[in-house]
Structure 1
């Protein structure tokens, strides 16, 4: 009941069973043929041995069984190999579609998803849940269906020969493929759920530890860092050891039931197949044919036992819903036609308890202008950039570009906006590939030109592999300032008219920061720039400064004018410059 209830409203498993049903049926048939060939191989081998022991007068009397033994001996590995190819092909097709769907679902509103889920949960979702569904097919559904079909076919075949014995064998097989698996689920369900919970906690702890490892080291608490997950790991090991002990005992019981069935076959065949020599030749054949069926029947319990893991993954995947597209009719705006970006009296807050409140904020930004948003951390400067991009929507007011609401240009947003944030991500591939991420259509010469414009040509050409240099994990091959310059080269390739700078120089030393700001504003001189910063270094490069404080604008204007007319701005500037 629990199994069918899980799949009643499922949208992640059932659709693909229907979509690839032809391949699925083929895999199941091949699985049956594999088991049939294994049993037939033992049957013909046993018959051949018994027949040969009676000293046939002519070798031709056992020639056919010999040929069949060879045929089934070849057929079993061939069918098994093809079945593996087909079943894994089916599973890989399904999981490929599932992964694509999952990433598209997360990508459709990544900010919303990360806002409502822990990073560790996301890691668990991406790393485990799809793999669990893959194992659901390979280790539970396929073996269970094949074993059920073998049970029915074998019981019916025996029932035709002897109804009473056929029913008795059916009861023994029923214990093997249904009763014991259900007991496995009931015993291991809570234990598996506990192990899943502990693993989820470990993912969360691991994420926190990796992101905060520098703080642990700086604080001198290395031993605390090492021992943080020790208790969870110990609890997980204890629970897993109990599961292993249960599996050993359960498999022993399954083997015992199977041994009882073999003994019953020995008794039955000796009672019913020993009336003459010809019948007696089939005794060993029939008994031996039963042995290979254990390979198909006994693993069913293991697959059932893992069902709680699969159920949890199915439930979690089905809880993820794509964010409905509520965008208005999209407008195709040519980047070359950009004239102005207007922020008209917007108000925004995340919720009533959030410290971030943007109230009645307005700006009119024209093509080529450079605007700086200053203020202390946590007052909503980055939130304004998210509102400009359309990732967030204001509760009141409007943001428009060339008179169109920002929500109307989301289809080609990447052609209008470039973003450079505090820590641009560099992928562990070549330098030229990382830069080309800004525009995959650009040639190698254009990528190299972009790197030259940001001042990296001499550095890159001094490296052994030059432009094919691997940047390392998260850009570790290069310094913080060099990483920002690489990201700036991406922006040059993207060639969007509006560039949003979200404190790209934070954490850099003053000399590097000043050089980097000079580079930014030189190479982006023809762009419209909205620059979020927390101090006045490089403020001379902008046309307009907006100093935010709490929920209002404290002061704004051209930097030179503010320096001459606003005492507070002059004090802040002199303090920042160390004057």
Structure 2
């Protein structure tokens, strides 16, 4: 609340206050319209001798009717304009929180959770302002005004009406909030589970079909939908009971108003024409308070949304230990990376992934990180990128802690991962992602270096050819070459290769590796891989096991000194394959 609501209330308080004031004017005009209408009906029923005697009420009805619509429109316009500005700021802040974590976002958060935050939580905060904060404050303001006006006639009766309205405006909404809190939280959790099921289903639809169990997936999805629907029906049932009780209270208010106004007329303290006026205005005011209960019922959902947003931000802040946000010049061509006695375990887990790892990576060095799944290869990369801070030891770039760089780190580090994303735009725009200021000639030169230029020129529109969704016009190896061209255009001195050849056939893999190492000749290359093909191109090979460095040295040194490495190499790259791919 303090970080995601109050700052934006302070920033946009003028628009919020204006919306509340205009909303009060709209309610006041609505109440005045009903009051004047009741008076006009009663006065007309007495058959006045001259039409001029009801001329002012007729004009007033028209005026209040027009102004009610005008103020209602202005209130909506002001509130929505202000809230949309608030949401724009919130979305910018959310993307600024997620952007530094983009490289490893899927390792930190479930895809369904991110989808829920982007599509659901921010929208709930919009409802927090439009459906809860503004209506509640407006209703409370109208509550005070109505009781004050009635107190001008009779303080005792005003106190009775204050009690009636207290139940509608305060007691029932708070009781409804208390009774529905758990169920609302269950609905929110159920919707998030549905997002997880949706993303699992979309991402794994082929596997479901191949396994021959699509019906099981649909059944599981239907069961989750049904469980959420059951809770929603219970909440709806409670809402109907609540609304019925509130209508009974409004009925009691109307009866009380009829009795009081009749007694006032009998005592000669009020004209008979005001009975209908007071009764109708009671209905108008009471109806304005009914949405408050529904508004407060949504508070648990808002709380859950705020909690998730704050968790995302806390994760980002935990991973940025120093707030200096140091920025290196883009022309920097030398980065010295040092890992000194590093130990690390992921937050929330006791098992140490790394226990005592020391690696020196001066500028221009080519380092291969080997090891079985879970050995800590990706963890080292995350530490170098400042995504996490080590539990012990330190990771530095040019003597500065990696976590201190913040967003600036990716000015000097590029990552070529297993599945680079190609956007549904032109080939030129996809290449220009590495450098927005790159000229057409620079794009062509980068494409030539990665051996894509000839293929691109064979396409109907050359570099202006649309990629189509996920780069369907390119093969797996060609998609990696596009990503490599981006890196060349970016010009960062450090390049991390996160198993970029996974899924490629041996010949394509060898060709791609040859292109990578030729084009990155002057770069620091850190290569994560499970395969030993191409190790002779590396300056140093580091084999991780059980949190420690099990083997370390050049490819030739390890072939001579380590029987285990020699066995692994000949097993992974037999002579027939080495001869075919020439690695």
TM-score range, shorter chain: 0.7 to 0.9
- For structure 2, the 5+ residue unaligned runs are none
Partner residue of 1:269 out of 256, 261, 264: 261
> Which position in structure 2 is the counterpart of 1:362?
359
C-alpha change, 1:224 and 1:577, in structure 2 (3 Å) is same
Distance 1:504 1:41 in 2: 71
Partner residue of 1:507 out of 503, 506, 527: 503
> Which position in structure 2 is the counterpart of 1:131?
123
Q: CA deviation at 1:245?
A: 1.9
Partner residue of 2:543 out of 532, 539, 548: 548
Contact residue 355 and residue 378 of structure 1 kept, 8 A: no
Answer with 557-566 or 404-413: which moved more. 557-566
Count of equivalent residues: 569
Residues 494-530 of structure 1: per-residue CA shift (max 9 Å, x gap): 1112222111111122233233223323333343322
Q: CA deviation at 1:564?
A: 12
> Which position in structure 1 is the counterpart of 2:29?
37
Distance 2:538 2:216 in 1: 50
In the alignment, structure 1 residue 434 sits paired with structure 2 residue 430? yes
C-alpha change, 1:470 and 1:266, in structure 2 (3 Å) is farther
> Which position in structure 2 is the counterpart of 1:179?
171
Residues 26-68 of structure 1: per-residue CA shift (max 9 Å, x gap): 1111111111111212222333344344444544333322222
Partner residue of 1:17 out of 9, 14, 19: 9
Partner residue of 1:28 out of 17, 20, 23: 20
2:414 aligns to what SS in structure 1?
A: strand
In the alignment, structure 1 residue 66 sits paired with structure 2 residue 58? yes
> Which position in structure 2 is the counterpart of 1:420?
416
Answer with 402-411 or 297-306: which moved more. 402-411
> Which position in structure 1 is the counterpart of 2:292?
300
Partner residue of 2:142 out of 126, 146, 150: 150
Q: How does 1:90-129 map to 2 (within 5 A)?
A: 90-107=82-99, 118-129=110-121
C-alpha change, 1:333 and 1:151, in structure 2 (3 Å) is closer
Distance 2:501 2:105 in 1: 28
Distance 2:571 2:187 in 1: 59
Task: Quote the RMSD (CA, aligned, Å).
Answer: 3.7
C-alpha change, 1:574 and 1:195, in structure 2 (3 Å) is same
Answer with 287-296 or 395-404: which moved more. 395-404
- For structure 1, the 5+ residue unaligned runs are 1-6
Q: How does 1:85-484 map to 2 (within 5 A)?
A: 85-107=77-99, 118-273=110-265, 279-318=271-310, 320-321=313-314, 323=317, 325-327=320-322, 333-334=328-329, 338-339=333-334, 341=336, 343=338, 346-350=341-345, 354=351, 356-357=353-354, 359-367=356-364, 369-393=365-389, 412-460=408-456, 467=463, 471-476=467-472, 478-484=474-480
Partner residue of 1:524 out of 520, 524, 529: 520
Answer with 203-212 or 22-31: which moved more. 203-212
Contact residue 27 and residue 86 of structure 1 kept, 8 A: yes
Contact residue 346 and residue 394 of structure 1 kept, 8 A: no
Q: CA deviation at 1:132?
A: 2.4
1:161 aligns to what SS in structure 2?
A: coil
Question: Under a length normalisation based on structure 1, what TM-score does the superposition of the two structures give?
Answer: 0.85
Distance 1:51 1:463 in 2: 83
Answer with 451-460 or 83-92: which moved more. 451-460
Partner residue of 1:533 out of 507, 525, 529: 529
> Which position in structure 2 is the counterpart of 1:4?
none
Contact residue 37 and residue 76 of structure 1 kept, 8 A: yes
Distance 1:108 1:207 in 2: 23
